Amino acid sequence: MFSFFRKKTAPAAAPAAPAAATVDSTSVADEVGASPAAVVATEAVVHPVERPQAPRSSWLGRLKAGLKRTGSNLAQVFTGTRIDDELYEELEAALLMADTGVAATEFLLADLKRRVKDTQATDPAKVKALLADALAELLEPLEAELTIGRVATPTVMMVAGVNGAGKTTSIGKLTRHLAGGGAKVLLAAADTFRAAAREQLAVWADRNQVEIVSQAGGDPAAVCFDAVSAGKARGCDVVIADTAGRLATQAHLMEELRKIRRSVGRAMDGAPHEVLLVVDGNTGQNALAQVKAFDAVLGLTGLIVTKLDGTAKGGVLAAIALWGRERVAAGGAVVPVYFIGVGEALEDLETFDAREFAQALLN
């Protein structure tokens, strides 16, 4: 079972599975005080699913396999028998190839040299272990637990990202585990202009036996407002808004995100409680640029890093961690990595653990 959220009270016993039903727009509008044309809500067909819970050790195996492309280049550095300038130069090149970035690479090399000196290490295998320690320590501030019901109910999550990052799929997986843990979840399909996006989210809603608020061609901010209002009225634990994918360079679309955020805040004081960005691990250093750009517009509270199994650029997490340190030094806060993904299967999205990641990368 995932342990990424806690509820203040134990969930009530699940009711008997209802027959497939559709809630028409008029009934939803009466409930939330919106116009009938503004909301379309559907209640999913119930398909009870057995959920065998894979142990954490199973996840570690998949993580190691997923990070193999990134880790293989780093591991080759430590196949020799000497610790010299050539080893550090090869390690520097490998870190840069993994898209760790210049600043994070310099930071890790300086930290590693200090550790080698302090421990008087003479074996390259020992140096690799010391690098794992240095990387884990750098990444540790990115660890955080996503908690629902801590501030208010429902917990409202706004999810953003560029096209193709795996945003809607990540929302589906997150919803699956939240619903499986007893949380009542409502989805908002705020990508109103792309039919495929609404359909994809509707499929996840059906699989997860949760409701979805959507509208074809409408105002994304209005859809999110109605979804939050409906979530409050229905006693939901979580409302998740799936916004349209966009590039951070598209100023008018980034302004639309600001509008959605304001609309959600008007629907519920203090919302959104979580503003998550889904980033594709394949994009390397561009992922860090995305984090900075979306944070400037929305004020991010967490990250989901996907597709680490298809890239040799997994070192970007070190760059994100170093940026987090700089934010803290300037009086800000770290933007944590709540989850990482190494595949398409449901169990391929897991909570981020710095030590696990460092060891999997360098094993």
Is the pLDDT at 46 greater than 70, yes or no?
A: no
Q: How far is it, in rounded angstroms, from Cα 283 to Cα 137?
A: 24
Which residue from 12, 15, 16, 18 is spatially nearest to 43, judged by alpha carbons?
Answer: 18
The tens digit of pLDDT for each residue in 295-339 reads 999 999 999 999 888 666 788 999 999 999 999 999 999 999 999
DSSP, collapsed to helix, strand or coil, labels residue 32 as helix
Is residue 4's pLDDT more than 50? no
Bigger pLDDT: 15 or 122? Answer: 122
Report the distance separating Cα 284 and Cα 95, nearest Å. 12
Distance CA 218, CA 278 (A): 24
Determine the average pLDDT of the residues in 56-82.
80
Indicate the helix (H) or strand (E) that contains 102.
helix 102-119
Whole-number pLDDT of residue 100: 92
In this prediction, residue 181 carries a pLDDT of 87
What are residue 212's phi and psi, to 5 degrees? Answer: -135, 140
How high is the pLDDT of residue 39?
A: 42
- Taking the CB of residue 325, how many other CB atoms lie within 10 A of it? 14
Residues in the chain: 363
Please classify residue 193 by burial: count the beta carbons closer than 10 Å to its beta carbon, then call 0-12 exposed, 13-18 middle and 19+ buried.
exposed
Task: Work out the percent of the chain whose per-residue pLDDT is above 70.
Answer: 83
The percentage of the chain sitting over the pLDDT mark of 90, rounded to a whole number, equals 55
Residue 55 has pLDDT above 60, yes or no: no
The arithmetic mean of pLDDT across residues 62-74, rounded, is: 82
Give the pLDDT of residue 68: 83
Residue 296: the pLDDT is 92
The whole-number average pLDDT for the span 223-238 is 96
What pLDDT, in 10s, does the model give residues 327-346? 999 999 999 999 999 888 77
Cα gap 153→149, rounded to integer Å: 5
Q: Which amino acid is at 318?
A: A
CA gap 122, 34 in Å, rounded: 70
Average pLDDT over residues 113-126: 93
The pLDDT value given to residue 363: 73
pLDDT at 45: 31
For 150-197, the pLDDT digits (tens) are 888 999 999 999 988 899 999 999 999 899 889 999 999 998 777 788
Asked whether residue 7 carries a pLDDT value surpassing 50, the answer given is: no
254-271 pLDDT, tens digit per residue, is: 889 999 999 999 999 999
Write down the pLDDT at residue 26: 35
